[in-house]
Structure 1
Amino acid sequence: MALVSRIWQCFNPPTPPKSSDAIRFGVLGAAGIAPLALFNPAKSHPEVIIQAISARDRKKAEAYAKSHGIPDIKDTYQEILDDPNIDAIFIPLPNGLHFEWAVRAIRAGKHVLLEKPSVSNSTEAEILFNLPELDQPNGPVLLEAFHSRFHPSWALFHSLVDPTEIEHIETRSMIPWWASSKDQIHFNYNLSGGSIMAMGTYNFAALRLLFGETPEECLSCDVKSYTDGIHDKCDYEVKATLRFPNGGTGVASTTLMGETIIKPSWVVVTTKKAIIPNSSLPAGQQQYQRRELTLQGLVHGVFWHRIDIKEINEICTNEGAVVKKWEKTTSRKAYTWEEAGGEFADLPGEVHWMSYRHQLEQFVNKVKGRKTQQWIEREDSIAQMKMIDMAYEKSGLGPRPTSSFR
């Protein structure tokens, strides 16, 4: 019943009155992700109003606005940027359009919540996240909307991992075959499509954040893509192995053509074997332990997740013979900050808050000049795109194309 209640409240949150100084959002494009990523979270936030929408097709924009209760419809994206009543811009456009419209929005003095991946490649990231407007006092706020990083389950899992102890990480995500099609923007190279640019961004980020470093090298990047001469530069499946500065390796796998049944994304961290002091052992014996830490439900922790902590113990002689071996597994969850504990325990939130709602809370705090307990720094977003470029180079498909907009 707790599961049913939580999910029902996710999509039917309380709707408090809006404050007089609420942030008014303009949305570029009638994207399918916008209701989940912004409209629904905005319902329960007293300081957020979805004010305007624009799409390439006016009739589509009108139907979309009516469906989601958006009062203003603009003929062009630029009209939204020019509207003095709009404070912030949400950009859920195809990847290849992120750079241009994020730059235009920032130049227009608007705060920007930018869908991930932030841009098409590291060249664009270096330009966007180093715009001089971002360094001005009271200048625009720019956030790459990596929502999963704002959920308590990720914060707890991250806190359990010591980067110096990591030997190997493996992470995987998927979209089933029936939810994917060649006609989708995922397979449009000019719009920066590809599985790494879709679900793969979650897996690549998990590796980088858990190791606490950017990878030194992409050892391999095996991809599957169509060979029809039209979609062949866009991977629909990938398995990339990367080496990190501590000598550990990470494997990121993702597919847009997965099995019929949807499976939660996951990440498994394996630590190096460590000596465990044990004074009860006889002379000539030593206890060793390695841990496997698993997060099931990496992307949408609010629906379901579980953190498993497996301790693999061995008692060995000095000659290396195994005297005894045993395992112990404990599990944790964190649907609230109280369950995450530690430094997170006092953060605001409700059990039904999706990661998007936690993200919106921090975005509003940043815009309002208040303390943000979590944030994604500009350098972080640049490092993410460098890692993606590294994998695409190794794959042979090459990085996604750079926009001609300047």
Structure 2
Amino acid sequence: MSLGQLKRIYTAFNPPAVEKSKDALKFGIIGAANSAAWALLIPAKLHPEVVVHAIAARDRKRAEEFAKKNNVPVVYDSYQDLLDDPEIDCILVPLPNALHFEWAVRSIRAGKHVLLEKPSVSNYIEAQTLFNLPELDAPNAPVLLEAFHYRFHPIWSLFMSLVTPADVVHVNTFSMIPWWFVNKDHIHFNYNLAGGTMMGMGTYNFAALRLIFGAEPEECISADVKAFTEGVHHDCDYEFKAKFRFPNGCIGEAFSTLQGPTIWYPSYATVTHRQVEVPDKTLPPSQKKFVTREVTINGFIHAIFWSRIDVKEAFEIRDKETGRVVKKWTEKRTQKAYSPKEAGGGLANLEGEEYWMSFRYQLGAFVDKIKGRKPAYWVNREDSALQMKMVDMAYEKSGLGIRPTSKFQVN
């Protein structure tokens, strides 16, 4: 690990605080989840228009400890007490998956903007209800965003600029968490809380497939899982490998485990394009040039630690009349983008530093949407609903069944 990399990572978790504006949005956090630090507390230090104002947890003592540790000024006895506070503009919902639906709905109906941890809900049934709430289409409607943070990072934008969805024929995705990081009693492995690896890391893989193909899967061909069978852990996959058929017979594969090897291995997505003809005016009229491009994004889920794009292009020159290959060669290159400037393109002028995590870019987009500014990137409601439809497809194919639907009723 280089000195520059160490400095970037250290600054990412210990960022310089910025002066807050007078009209800064006040956030409340529902639940004292550890993930709130990444999703909001750290990026909020870097955003002049965000103040973390309050927290509520099921355990008042835990909320007080969280507030003291993170300098959150107000602690409430209940989630509803926090929602009833007229000073709160926005809510972060980092609760267990099974509680996302209820508290996203309650927050929206309280007139709060909602930053909702992924996966947005437990299944497509809940997604259809949540993302079609009439309150979201009313004048001055609250903003709702599913927190798919990696999609906001500059390296993902650069990666997608190297992908031609119409020419993609195969995608392979990988993600993992080592066995020692998540034990069996974690909420990821609680069926009643909508646990399972496909609900956890797997959602990252599935979203990557949908974005790369620029289409929705037509079928889940296979979903092989390793799952717990007893107690509250029943039907919770701790590892899976799924294969999807996309339009035109294209194949997308996803592998993820929450009980991986001791040493962490970065996430990746490898994209194979079909061979296409490329113009080359230097060639004689009797010849044609073709290329097959493979693009791999490494470390895309948590790009701040380490990330890189590898591009491999296999070229061929053929005789037009006979189709004989006259010449063939391969070119390789790598690219990095820890900042918008490095990503270039439409992001070149976007604010951002190399130590900004994907969560900071996500928070910036969320605030821009609320303030009536156009975000550089956005995850719309239809996108989030279709994401859950894909998750359900895989769970149904696996035999484990979709995650249980909330008993909370939307009247």
The letter of the residue matching 2:123 is N
Counterpart among 390, 395, 398 of residue 398 in structure 2: 395
1:240-277 CA distances to partner (integer Å, 9 max, x unpaired)?
11111132110011000111101110000000012345
Report SS of the residue matched to 1:182: coil
Report SS of the residue matched to 1:158: helix
* Change in CA separation of 1:280 and 1:370 when aligned onto 2, cut-off 3 Å: closer
Counterpart among 311, 334, 349 of residue 352 in structure 2: 349
Aligned position for 1:176: 178
Report SS of the residue matched to 1:253: strand
Q: CA deviation at 1:278?
A: 5.4
Counterpart among 42, 47, 68 of residue 66 in structure 1: 68
CA–CA distance in 2 between the matches of 1:300 and 1:31?
A: 18
Question: How many pairs does the alignment contain?
Answer: 406
**Does the 8 A contact of 1:362 with 1:374 survive in 2?**
yes
* Change in CA separation of 1:282 and 1:258 when aligned onto 2, cut-off 3 Å: same
CA–CA distance in 2 between the matches of 1:244 and 1:289?
A: 23
The letter of the residue matching 1:217 is E
**Does the 8 A contact of 1:164 with 1:246 survive in 2?**
no
The letter of the residue matching 2:346 is E
Aligned position for 2:117: 115
Q: How does 1:235-384 map to 2 (within 5 A)?
A: 235-277=237-279, 286-315=288-317, 324-384=327-387
Which has the larger displacement, 328-337 or 314-323?
A: 314-323
Report SS of the residue matched to 2:180: helix
Q: Does 1:102 align with 2:104?
A: yes
Q: CA deviation at 1:325?
A: 3.5
CA–CA distance in 1 between the matches of 2:325 and 2:227?
A: 46
**Does the 8 A contact of 2:30 with 2:57 survive in 1?**
yes
Counterpart among 64, 69, 77 of residue 75 in structure 1: 77
Q: CA deviation at 1:93?
A: 0.1
- Where do 5+ consecutive residues of structure 1 fail to align? none
CA–CA distance in 1 between the matches of 2:131 and 2:149?
A: 18
Aligned position for 1:231: 233
* Change in CA separation of 1:283 and 1:17 when aligned onto 2, cut-off 3 Å: closer
- Where do 5+ consecutive residues of structure 2 fail to align? none
Q: How does 1:8-87 map to 2 (within 5 A)?
A: 8-87=10-89
Report SS of the residue matched to 1:369: coil
TM-score norm. by structure 1 comes to 0.96
1:80-111 CA distances to partner (integer Å, 9 max, x unpaired)?
00011111100000000000000000000011
CA–CA distance in 2 between the matches of 1:79 and 1:405?
A: 18
1:365-399 CA distances to partner (integer Å, 9 max, x unpaired)?
11111222211110100110011111111111111
**Does the 8 A contact of 2:221 with 2:243 survive in 1?**
yes
* Change in CA separation of 1:227 and 1:319 when aligned onto 2, cut-off 3 Å: farther
Which has the larger displacement, 169-178 or 324-333?
A: 324-333
Q: CA deviation at 1:31?
A: 0.2
1:123-173 CA distances to partner (integer Å, 9 max, x unpaired)?
111100111111112111100011100000001101111111101000000
Report SS of the residue matched to 1:353: coil
CA–CA distance in 2 between the matches of 1:280 and 1:133?
A: 59
CA–CA distance in 2 between the matches of 1:84 and 1:241?
A: 47
**Does the 8 A contact of 1:147 with 1:356 survive in 2?**
yes
Q: Does 1:405 align with 2:397?
A: no
Report SS of the residue matched to 2:249: coil
* Change in CA separation of 1:111 and 1:278 when aligned onto 2, cut-off 3 Å: closer
* Change in CA separation of 1:322 and 1:257 when aligned onto 2, cut-off 3 Å: farther
CA–CA distance in 1 between the matches of 2:280 and 2:341?
A: 33
* Change in CA separation of 1:280 and 1:357 when aligned onto 2, cut-off 3 Å: closer
Q: CA deviation at 1:64?
A: 1.1
